[in-house]
Amino acid sequence: MSEDVPLLDDLMPWAVGSLRLGRDWVAAPDPAALRARWAALTGSEGAERERLFRPSRSRRPDAGAAALPGQRSAATARFTDAPGPCPDPVRVLREPFDEQWLLPDQRLIDVARPELWRVRDAHQLFLVETPDPLVTAHLPVGRLGRIRPLHRRPGGAEPNLAPGLLPLLGARHGGWVAPEDVLCWILAAGRPGPRGYEVPLAADPAHWRAGLELGHRLLGVQLRGARGGEPPRLPGGRRPYVRSAVAGWPHEPAYDAESETLSLGGGTVSPVPAGAWEYEAQGVRVLPAWFAARTAHRSPDADGLAALGPAEWPQSWTSELLSLVTTLALLAELAPERAAFEPGPGLPAETLRAAGVLPPPASARRPASVLDHQEEGPGGQFALL
């Protein structure tokens, strides 16, 4: 790559830092555990509530906070005065490929990023800047990279793309180019570089079409059936099945490469391709990390609200495991194709500058004004934004 190659930071100019929870107990793999934690917290008083809450400089039980956009039932009074009803847990991406649940109450979250909640809807996709960026339909939380929403406004309006990029690509490649097409191209052609994440833009239609075809397959696998799509499947009918049910609490997952069998205590799942078992994200093997997150509440180190979790292994987790195995296996199979993909001659930076694509205006790096209603601030006052 060279300085003539555009950066992801310029092609998707608006980026937001990751959400910082401040206390692990507000997120969990099981929504029932979150409701149990809420009940335990609200049923406590005084010093015990303070201990369970785990105060930080940003959040304390004696302070209020604004309601998160889109969460109309969220309370805004001081937690010590009126906790309110337990908010319905929402699906989030906690770690790469690990979908969990979150209590959407800004009084409990150190840095909740309301600007992301304002544009979170059924049309939105989030690109997460990991060494190999991944895309999710769920709000990313925790120790992930910077977050780039595909759309700047609710309803899939105003793409988070450099102004002029879509018309330029459409004219160059002879057809309509959708925002999701650019996202797919980034997945296929983007690579880390010394200046940041570099995304060469194909100059000829043949390479562009090849990149889109690969990128759409990568996107479909990563979304795992979200937004009404078809869940990905392994080719040739090699679908992982539960050979024996998971009962009790398995201590550690074990893998037998010869039989392609994943064991969780007395439970077994197969076939599990080796590529799925060995798949890593951010230098961590995904399947063992996924399992560890679901047994964390049983760890001797777990205390307070974080120690509240299922007494038995939920059947829903086994279903999630089957889906995750399929996703990782398909990504492992696509990895060599993606690594070998050549975007061909790229559009010169001068062409992008002449079209007004580069550099993006400063306004494109700021959130759009998306308020079509008033938001409730701390203590029931309307928020001033």
| For range 49-76, the mean pLDDT | 89
Give the pLDDT score at 372.
55
At 275 the pLDDT is 97
Closest CA to 364 of 160, 164, 204, 218: 160
Which whole number is the average pLDDT over 210-218?
A: 98
Q: Is the pLDDT of residue 342 over 60?
A: yes
pLDDT (average), residues 46-59? 95
pLDDT surpasses 60 at 102: yes
pLDDT of residue 380: 53
Q: What is the 3-state secondary structure (H, E, C) of 132-194?
A: CCEEECCEEECCCCCEEECEEEHHHEEECCCCCHHHHHHHHHCCCCCHHHHHHHHHHHCEEEC
Per-residue pLDDT at 319 exceeds 80: yes
Q: Which residue has the tokens 């037998």?
A: 256
The pLDDT confidence band at residue 71, using thresholds 50, 70 and 90, is confident
Mean pLDDT of the chain: 93
Q: Looking at residues 351-369, what average pLDDT do you find?
A: 95
138 closest CA partner among 153, 146, 128: 128
Residue type, 154: P
* DSSP secondary structure of 213-247: HHHHHHHHHHHTTGGGPPPP--GGG---EEEE---
Contacts 24+ apart (CB under 8 A), 292-298: 293/29, 293/94, 293/95, 293/98, 293/100, 294/29, 294/30, 295/249, 295/250, 297/28, 297/33, 298/249
Could you give the angle at the alpha carbon of 259 between the alpha carbons of 255 and 261, nearest 5°? 40
Other CB atoms within a 10 A radius of the CB of residue 299 amount to 11
What pLDDT, in 10s, does the model give residues 222-254? 999 988 788 999 988 889 999 999 988 888 899
Does 370 have pLDDT greater than 80?
Answer: no
pLDDT of residue 371: 56
Task: Annotate 292-342 with DSSP letters as a single string.
Answer: HHHHGGGSTT--GGGG---SS--HHHHHHHHHHHHHHHHHHHHHHHHHH--
Q: Cα 27 vs. chain centroid, distance in angstroms?
A: 14
With 60 as the cut, is the pLDDT of residue 171 above it? Answer: yes
User: For residue 48, what pLDDT is reported?
Assistant: 97
Tokens of 112: 């909740």
Rounded to a whole number, what is the largest CA-CA distance in the chain? 67
pLDDT average, residue stretch 7-30: 96
Say what percent of the chain tops pLDDT 90: 83
Interval 99-124 mean pLDDT: 96
Mean pLDDT confidence for 193-204: 95
- Give the burial string for 247-280 (b: 16+ CB within 10 Å, else e): eeebeebebeeeebbbbbbebbbbbbbeebbebe
pLDDT at 384: 44
pTM score: 0.94
pLDDT at residue 377, rounded to an integer? 60
